[in-house]
Structures are given as structure tokens and as C-alpha cells.
Structure 1
Amino acid sequence: MAPVKQVQITFDCAEPERVALFWSAVLGYEHQGSAAVDPTGVGPRLYFQRVPEEKVVKNRVHLDVRVGTGLAGAERLAALEAECVRLVALGAVRGQLLRADGVNESCQLMQDIEGNEFCLD
């Protein structure tokens, strides 16, 4: 069996191009119609497909946008806050801030423009 070479992450949504534009801006990806593509070719392609039904429950899988890697304490919180402010300006919704608990570092819960949950980590 041949090894898998690439992974595409697919989102169900009502407005694929709008959501693709949002995630392209979040990640610095190139917008390609209903997709967001890493210009370096390293990250996964994100594809957004139209579905008729609305989102009704919490995501079982979500993206972590890693802006605080290697940071801790006040420095990490400042990085999370700065990115949160940027993403809210793009249409994201701020959720709960989960503070470091001795096991996990702080992370900021967020929702994209269609209510899909993601974390600033």
C-alpha cells in the first residue's frame, strides 16, 4: 500500500467562498475559490463544501491556530490576545480564555464566521 502524501481538511458550510476567504486570511493561505491553500505547499489544503443544513452541535474535530508555541505566562497570553483581536476584525467570535492549569498552557477558544470552533494555541 502506498503511503499517504497529503491531507485535505474539508469543512461543511453554507457559504464556501466566504469561509475560504476567512481562513485564507487567518492562515496566510492563498484563496482558490472554495479552498485555502498553503503557498509553501507544507500545510494541508482546506476545502469548503456547501451543505444545505446548518451547524447544530459542537465540532468533533477542530483546528488549532498555533500562535503561542514556545511561549508561557504573560508572553503567551499577549500573543493569544493580539491574534484574537486580529481574527475578530476578520469576523471571528471570541470564546472563553482557558488559562494554564499546570498541565496545559493557556488557549483562546474561538469561532469562525459560520460558528465552527477553533483554538488559538
Structure 2
Amino acid sequence: MSRHPFHLTLDASDPTALGEFWALALGYRREDPPAPHSTWEEALTAWGLPEERWNDANAIVDPTGAGPRIFIQKVPEPKTAKNRLHLDVVVSESAEGKDRGALRAKADELVAAGATETLVFDDPMLGHWIVMADPEGNEFCVI
């Protein structure tokens, strides 16, 4: 049983690839297969799941155990509207505010991994962040 009061679930057309992207973005890793299996291939084979269904779901976890589990499930339809909830990837905070160089470096890393940068927000009153979309179009911010 998880010690977190919630898990996050993302719909995806490619749960494995989207899990790899979010693991990079958040410093997470793929969830370990259940015992006694040492690999997911071994577990899925033992369960009799046909190979064409091995990418139906994926889960990533915070290696420190502090963050919530993220479950990624395959759905047949593509994303069609703006997210009503999004993730903020927290990169840098200091007493003086955001380290813009660290935000830029993280945004560039995520673009190289398949994200799209959509807006750089810079307001003296509200702050500085970068609005992005993951490889499947889900909006998030680098803050």
C-alpha cells in the first residue's frame, strides 16, 4: 500500500515512451516489476499477456519515495483539449527568485527529449517560468 494519498494517472498513446519522458523530467524511474519477477518482460510473460499488449500501461516512481506514483495508461483517442490539471517541474528556487539559467537548461533538455516549448512567461510581479508540452501534447511548466 502506498503511503501517498493519491497517484497521478496520464492517458497516452505510447505509455512506455511517455513514461521515459516523465522519468527524465522528474528524476523518476520505472516502477520495479512485482516479485518474484526480475523484469517486466518476465512478469508479463508469466501472466500470459500477449506481447502486443505489453505497452498498455506503465508506471514511474520517485526513487526517494517522496513523490507520488505516476501511472500511464494506453487510450485509443488522442488528446484534444487543454489540460485541466498540469504538472510543474520544479527546477530552481532561491531567495532571489528563479535561476533562469537552470530553467533554460532543463527546458532545453526536455525539448531534446521530445517536448515542445510554447511560452516563456516573465512578469516582474508574477515571476518567470516556461510553458511546455510533453511528446503527447500534455501541458506542463518548468518553474
Where on the TM-score scale, by shorter chain, does this alignment land: which range? 0.7 to 0.9
**Paired residues, number:** 116
Who is 1:19 aligned against? 18
Who is 1:53 aligned against? 77
Q: State the SS of the aligned residue for 2:117.
A: strand
Q: Percent identity?
A: 41
Who is 1:28 aligned against? 27
Who is 1:109 aligned against? 131
Assess if the C-alpha contact under 8 Å between 1:76 and 1:106 holds in 2. Answer: no
Q: Work out the CA distance in 2 between the residues paired with 1:71 and 1:77.
A: 13
TM superposition shift of 1:70: 2.3
TM score, norm. by length of structure 1: 0.87
Relative distance call for 1:72 and 1:88 in structure 2 (3 A) is farther
Q: Greater CA radius of gyration, 1 or 2?
A: 2
TM superposition shift of 1:72: 4.7
Give structure 1 stretches of 5+ with no counterpart: none
Who is 2:142 aligned against? 120
TM superposition shift of 1:110: 0.5
Q: Which moved more, 1:77-86 or 1:57-66?
A: 77-86
Assess if the C-alpha contact under 8 Å between 2:116 and 2:134 holds in 1. Answer: yes
Q: Is the counterpart of residue 82 in structure 1 residue 81 in structure 2?
A: no
Q: Work out the CA distance in 2 between the residues paired with 1:79 and 1:71.
A: 15
Assess if the C-alpha contact under 8 Å between 2:82 and 2:139 holds in 1. Answer: yes
Relative distance call for 1:66 and 1:11 in structure 2 (3 A) is same
TM superposition shift of 1:78: 1.4
Who is 1:37 aligned against? 61
Spell out structure 1 runs of 4+ moving beyond 6 A.
none
